[in-house]
Structure 1
Amino acid sequence: MHTAPLPRVLHLTQPVDGGVARVVTDLVRAQLSDGLDVTVACPDSALTTKLRTLGARVRHWHATRSPGTSLVREVRHLARVIDEVRPDLVHAHSAKAGLAGRLAVRGRIPTVFQPHAWSFEAVSGGTAALALLWERWGARWASRVVCVSEAERATGMDARITGRWTVVPNGIDPERFRPAPAGAVRAGLAPLAGIRPAAPLAVCVGRLCRQKGQDVLLRAWEAVVRQVPDARLVLVGDGPDHDRLREGAPESVVFTGAVADASPWYQASDLVVLPSRWEGMALAPLEAMACGRPVVVTDVDGARESLPPSFAARCLVPPEDPAALAGAVTELLADPLLRESLGSQGRRHVLSTHDVRYTAEAVSDVYRDLLGPWTAATPSAEHGQPLGTGRGAEANRTPQRVEPTEYRESIHS
């Protein structure tokens, strides 16, 4: 069978932190290992340094996180970058890059848009209405919309966004996020956070912002410590709500600020909590389960799909419900045997359905559908082994691949 040359792929991303940055990094790593010619356009940040270390070309794109008066300039700059890179395919990540990227390309190049949660869920009032109108209009300039969960796709469909859809569940690297003895890890972190080794420990990893719902968790925490007085809560991350959340927080709550690697905090925890108001499919619960830790999450898009079915009764709570959140956290902090059982189930679930290798393969399948087939190159020494192929018994496993689901619909003009 004739195969085309390896394609040139241009990823566009803004934001450059949090889960979106981790997804972009994992995709770039895998695509470089497959021999693709990969460039990323994004603002200068720690992400650009990481991407260059992997061997990707990086083009500076000065763009703010939210749309504003600078949008016209940002689109023009991006159009120049696209003309210079001459990609075969553009992959735009999240609302801002999806907005500017589709305006710059306008369907002239195959374009994949990956919302990573819908923009109209993040705002309200007139701004939400404008965001929704744009998503309906901009869909005509996306060759494919890649959603990270069936629920995220359903939210888009319910909002009357039309197009060609593919669902590719988020994945994580189970070699990077893996179990470790909590006591030993916590002993190393205790001097940084002042946490007693024996204290029941809940951890929340995420950007400190309205989406992630740490304010709801802090309200719930008051009820938790009444039942488990020696419990401690660690908020891992930074963001625009840092000062507001820290003001008035009790002594039992620790703020770490931004960290380069959250895996030690997962490993040190007894329980990981993510009380989000909206998501597509959050990475933090997957990372926590890969580390063998139970989770409590709010029942937003992607949450049910990311958990084993047996977790629903104990680990899913309604969003913005401090009482339900406190009850679930208290129950698990008080039951070590239940936590151990749920942690083992969660690890097995992630290995079988959320290995990042399969996420990368599914995205490559989308590219092939749009561009035609190509033959992946043998991984080079420059880019190292593909994710999840390190040594150890688990690295040699053959987990069940979950195929992406494609939905075809006409794009209305």
Structure 2
Amino acid sequence: MKVLHILGSQGMGWTGGIRATLASLAQTRLSSWVEFQLVTQDQAKDTVKSWQPDLLVLHRASSWKGIPDLLTWKAKARILIEHHYSAGFEQHQVPSTWRFRAMLRLNYRLMDRVVSISEGQQHWLESARLVPPEKVRLIRSSRNLDPFLQVPEKANSDELFTLAAYGRFTHQKGFDRLIEAVRLLPIGSVQLLLGGQGPDERSLKTLANNHPHIHFLGKIDDVPGLLSRCDAVVIPSRWEPWGNVCLEARAAARPVLVSDVDGLTEQAKNCGIQFQSENCQLLADAIIQMIQASPEQRKSWGQQGRFSAAQAWDDYVDAWEQVLREFK
């Protein structure tokens, strides 16, 4: 069985990279009966023609502009992995709900399956009647977590409580609200290690205003190393269909603070604190709650998170196998 994965023109990034994740998937037991190939949408036309795949798996964002490609790329079946859109995205980024939903319904109609990457996203897809429930499948996003599962549990320390946050510096990730929340707290109560790069970097540094305990780390090549330095991880996203940062933090046995949106909500159960995503003061209060939690409570959150993440990769492979066998 030939399966062609199609990404956006520039590929896609999440922590660790979707290319690396799909390469790992291709090395699992699925390789005994599935041949995978990965291209960008610019390369797709020629590859579809020359390789003649049985199944197209689209990882790119749906759009009006992309519909003609769907009509010309020929294969026995098509699957769309919905990495991009969610209830939170719709709330924050969509000026015309009816037009946006019409575009999605048309794109999804051209698919044999639509794969949601979290229960929260699946609920939105079905409750908004964007796609018939019988066409939806759930594959919770994952990656190979071995380096994160090997991060030692955080030992108790008298050092300043350390929060870590990392990702692309964009409006979606909510780092502006995180910085504002830290600035609301007394100096010396917490330090923030903020890793990443992106278009909002200059404005975020301006907002931090040389705060003595907000540290910009730049691009993070060793994420497990960063997680080993912190007491907890904060994910303040405005929308997040899934959120691999939360998955990585859980695997590293670090308690999490997450905004109550999309796929983050289901990930944080029993392993941290949730806060209302639009309120900086509530985020500041959640940080204080995390700091004031007993070491035993934080350890319990971390252990619960690691336990919940330990089988994530195996579950990911199992879910892929179930979907692919529908087209074998």
Match of 1:234 in 2: 193
Question: Matches of 2:35 and 2:165 in 1, distance apart?
Answer: 36
Match of 2:149 in 1: 178
Match of 1:214 in 2: 175
How far is 1:167 from its partner? 1.1
3-state SS of 2:305 partner: helix
Question: Matches of 1:17 and 1:89 in 2, distance apart?
Answer: 20
Residue 106 of structure 2 corresponds to residue 137 of structure 1 = yes
Tell me the matched-pair count. Answer: 313
Q: Give the alignment partner of residue 299 of structure 1, picking from 253, 260, 266.
A: 260
Match of 1:41 in 2: 39
3-state SS of 2:148 partner: coil
Task: Sort the Cα spacing of 1:166 and 1:182 in 2 relative to 1 into closer, same or farther, 3 A.
Answer: closer
TM norm structure 2:
0.86
Equivalent residues of 1:290, 1:346 under 8 A apart: yes
Task: Sort the Cα spacing of 1:197 and 1:11 in 2 relative to 1 into closer, same or farther, 3 A.
Answer: farther
Aligned-residue sequence identity (percent) comes to 26
How far is 1:331 from its partner? 1.8
C-alpha offsets along residues 252-290 of structure 1, whole Å, 9 cap, x if unaligned?
211122223312111211010001111111111110011
Match of 2:54 in 1: 88
Match of 1:114 in 2: 81
Task: Sort the Cα spacing of 1:87 and 1:325 in 2 relative to 1 into closer, same or farther, 3 A.
Answer: same
Match of 2:13 in 1: 18
Task: Sort the Cα spacing of 1:23 and 1:365 in 2 relative to 1 into closer, same or farther, 3 A.
Answer: farther
What does 1:301-320 align with in structure 2 at a 5 Å threshold?
A: 301-308=262-269, 310-311=270-271, 315-320=273-278
How far is 1:99 from its partner? 6.7
Question: Matches of 2:233 and 2:35 in 1, distance apart?
Answer: 38
Question: Matches of 1:140 and 1:267 in 2, distance apart?
Answer: 45
TM norm structure 1:
0.69
Match of 2:240 in 1: 279
1:156 partner amino acid: L
Residue 119 of structure 2 corresponds to residue 150 of structure 1 = yes
Residue 24 of structure 2 corresponds to residue 29 of structure 1 = yes
Task: Sort the Cα spacing of 1:169 and 1:183 in 2 relative to 1 into closer, same or farther, 3 A.
Answer: closer
C-alpha offsets along residues 120-174 of structure 1, whole Å, 9 cap, x if unaligned?
6262314x65433211111111111100112101212233312410012223433
Structure number with higher relative contact order (C-alpha < 8 Å, ≥ 6 residues apart): 1
Match of 1:67 in 2: none
C-alpha offsets along residues 11-64 of structure 1, whole Å, 9 cap, x if unaligned?
11126343287345223322233323221112xxxxxxxxxxxxxxxxxx55xx
Equivalent residues of 1:12, 1:92 under 8 A apart: yes
Equivalent residues of 1:20, 1:94 under 8 A apart: no
Question: Matches of 2:64 and 2:7 in 1, distance apart?
Answer: 11
Task: Sort the Cα spacing of 1:182 and 1:255 in 2 relative to 1 into closer, same or farther, 3 A.
Answer: farther
Equivalent residues of 2:233, 2:257 under 8 A apart: yes
3-state SS of 1:260 partner: coil
Match of 1:389 in 2: none
Q: Give the alignment partner of residue 95 of structure 2, picking from 96, 120, 125.
A: 125
What does 1:303-382 align with in structure 2 at a 5 Å threshold?
A: 303-308=264-269, 310-311=270-271, 315-335=273-293, 336-352=295-311, 355-369=312-326, 371-372=327-328
1:135 partner amino acid: L
Q: Give the alignment partner of residue 104 of structure 1, picking from 63, 69, 74.
A: 69
3-state SS of 2:262 partner: coil
Runs of 4+ in 1 over 4 A off after TM superposition: 98-102, 181-184
Question: Matches of 2:82 and 2:68 in 1, distance apart?
Answer: 15
Gaps of 5+ in 2: none
Question: Matches of 1:18 and 1:144 in 2, distance apart?
Answer: 23
Q: Give the alignment partner of residue 138 of structure 2, picking from 147, 153, 167.
A: 167
Task: Sort the Cα spacing of 1:338 and 1:198 in 2 relative to 1 into closer, same or farther, 3 A.
Answer: same
Equivalent residues of 2:242, 2:264 under 8 A apart: yes
Task: Sort the Cα spacing of 1:168 and 1:99 in 2 relative to 1 into closer, same or farther, 3 A.
Answer: farther
Question: Matches of 1:102 and 1:197 in 2, distance apart?
Answer: 57
2:70 partner amino acid: V
1:368 partner amino acid: R
How far is 1:294 from its partner? 0.3
